């Protein structure tokens, strides 16, 4: 429980003092399950819980509050994270990702930054060791290429992280042999590498490539690190699928996550139907939320 407490308190430390005081008033038992802190200019600070959002305090968030959060998250050096800001997010120490929204500046090459922020979403990273055990049990410890399927915010990244940890470290009790894992962590959400070290537990045999597009990272890992498994979070583009096909043709096991509510929705999307038609993934894990809790359904694809 101490680890989960630190996750919430770490997110709260990214807030300016007045908002920090409001966030700390959330009941301890609810802090354990908080998923996100949301700041919107002109509205109260909100925490996202499994059952939905809850306002924290009545004072509206100001534009200056938003600027202060960005300053705290970047140690007052926003220019040092210019490239990720262009993509609409900032990674803060501890594995926290801040999604940014507002008025952008742009040139012929696309978005160059923000000249005014209107909202920030602070995602609170979670580690739940053992959440991937059911996957190992379903296949007798020999985990094949696996696709984690769920809508946004259902916990895909958390489950992927534990699946990577489990297969990287191995588990004699579950019959899982340790294997070399290459992790494509484009936005730094899975491993949260800082100063070369992963701040989240992704296993001792995992090599992490952060910052590079998934499509390029997968190919780089296969060519240079000799992985037995390649893991990717959020497959969203044709080039991601091309990289997965390349890795599969090299004999690598694949773990990946996709946005879909169920198998029918998955099959209805041309991009994902291409994956299914290629028969790359043998196992599908559907995450479903019921009354604030998550359940995992294992299906053969």
Domain locations in the chain as residue ranges: 2-123, 133-300
Query: What's CA 84's distance to the chain center, in Å?
Result: 15
Nearest to 48 by CA among 91, 11, 17, 100: 11
Chain center to CA of 207? 17
- Residue ranges of the alpha helices (H) in 211-259? 214-224, 238-249
Average pLDDT over residues 74-103: 78
40 or 289, which is more confident? 40
Q: Is pLDDT above 60 for 80?
A: no
Q: Which CATH number fits domain 2-123: 3.40.50.300, 3.30.450.90, 3.40.50.720, 3.90.1010.10?
A: 3.30.450.90
User: Furthest-apart CA pair in the chain: how many Å?
Assistant: 56
Looking only at the bridges linking them, the beta strands covering 197-198 and 44-49 are: unpaired
Model pLDDT for residues 224-277, shown as the tens digit of each residue: 999 999 999 999 999 999 999 999 999 999 999 999 989 999 999 999 998 899
> What does the alpha-carbon distance between residue 263 and residue 83 come to, in Å, rounded to a whole number?
35
Is the pLDDT score of 134 beyond 60?
A: yes
Q: What is the pLDDT of residues 173-196, one digit of tens each?
A: 999 999 999 999 988 889 988 778
For the chain, what is the mean pLDDT?
89
The side-by-side arrangement of strands in the sheet containing 89-92 is 52-60, 44-49, 36-40, 110-123, 96-107, 89-92
Instruction: Write down the CATH superfamily of domain 133-300.
Output: P-loop containing nucleotide triphosphate hydrolases (3.40.50.300)
Residue 77 has what pLDDT?
Answer: 61
In sequence order, what are the residues at sequence separation of 6 or more whose Cβ sits closer than 8 angstroms to the Cβ of residue 61?
Answer: 19, 39, 40, 41, 42, 43, 44, 45
Residue 78: predicted pLDDT: 58
Percent of the chain past pLDDT 70, that is, above it, reads 95
133-300 matches 2-123 in CATH topology = no
pTM as predicted: 0.83
Which carries the bigger pLDDT value, residue 22 or residue 295?
A: 22
Going by pLDDT thresholds of 50, 70 and 90, the confidence category of residue 291 is: low
Q: Is the CB of residue 118 less than 8 Å from the CB of residue 101?
A: yes
């Amino acid at each position: 429980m101490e680890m989960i407490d630190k996750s919430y308190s770490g997110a709260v430390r990214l807030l300016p003092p007045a908002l920090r005081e409001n966030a700390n008033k959330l009941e301890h038992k609810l802090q354990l399950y908080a998923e996100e802190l949301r700041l919107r200019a002109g509205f109260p600070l909100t925490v996202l819980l499994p059952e939905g959002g809850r306002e924290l305090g009545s004072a509206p968030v100001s534009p200056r509050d938003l600027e202060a959060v960005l300053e705290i998250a970047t140690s007052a050096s926003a220019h040092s994270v210019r490239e990720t800001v262009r993509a609409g997010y900032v990674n803060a120490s501890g594995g926290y990702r801040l999604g940014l929204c507002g008025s952008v500046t742009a040139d012929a090459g696309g978005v160059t930054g923000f000249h005014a922020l209107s909202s920030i979403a602070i995602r609170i990273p979670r580690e739940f060791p053992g959440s991937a055990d059911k996957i190992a049990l379903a296949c007798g410890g020999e985990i094949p290429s696996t696709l984690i399927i769920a809508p946004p915010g259902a916990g895909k990244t958390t489950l992927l992280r534990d699946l990577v940890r489990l297969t990287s470290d191995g588990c004699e009790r579950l019959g899982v042999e340790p294997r070399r894992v290459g992790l494509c962590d484009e936005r730094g959400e899975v491993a949260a590498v800082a100063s070369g070290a992963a701040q989240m537990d992704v296993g001792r045999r995992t090599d992490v490539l952060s910052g590079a597009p998934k499509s390029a990272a997968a190919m780089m890992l296969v060519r240079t690190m000799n992985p037995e498994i390649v893991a990717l979070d959020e497959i969203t583009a044709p080039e991601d699928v091309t990289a997965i096909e390349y890795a599969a043709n090299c004999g690598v096991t694949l773990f990946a996550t996709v946005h879909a509510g169920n198998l029918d929705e998955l099959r209805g999307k041309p991009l994902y139907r291409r994956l299914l038609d290629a028969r790359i993934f043998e196992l599908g894990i559907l995450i479903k939320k019921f009354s604030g809790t998550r359940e995992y359904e294992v299906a053969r694809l």
